[in-house]
Amino acid sequence: MPPLLTVNDVAARLACKPRKVRELIVAGRIYAIDISPDGNRPTYRIDEKDLAAFLASSAVPRPPEQRDEPRRPTLKPLRFMKFG
């Protein structure tokens, strides 16, 4: 069994603060194990595959392919004002 990741390890991989990782755990978006002896202050550990599952579920789809030709701007007719 590979070693479990700490909240700080996951935060470093996600480039966020450990507080955000704890929020994701409490919200149920990342599965974690609480290894605290008394349960007063949770001490979480995250398995690599659970982190990978979170990343896969949070992936943003790629945008469609870009056109070869740049779009031409649409020109609006000018309005002239009459003075006098």
Cα–Cα dist 84/80, whole Å: 13
Tell whether 43 is covered by a domain. Answer: yes
E-strand spans in the chain?
Answer: 5-6, 33-34, 44-46
Predicted confidence at residue 68, as pLDDT, reads: 66
Per the structure, the complete domain to which residue 39 belongs is given by: 5-57
- CATH number of the structural domain spanning residue 19: 1.10.10
Predicted confidence at residue 1, as pLDDT, reads: 66
Cα–Cα dist 81/26, whole Å: 62
Tell whether 39 is covered by a domain. Answer: yes
Better pLDDT: 43 or 80: 43
Better pLDDT: 13 or 81: 13
Residue 67 — pLDDT band, cuts 50, 70, 90? low
**pTM of the shown model:** 0.69
Tell whether 20 is covered by a domain. Answer: yes
Tell whether 72 is covered by a domain. Answer: no
Question: Count of alpha carbons within 13 Å of 59, Cβ hemisphere only?
Answer: 9
Give the total number of structural domains in the chain: 1
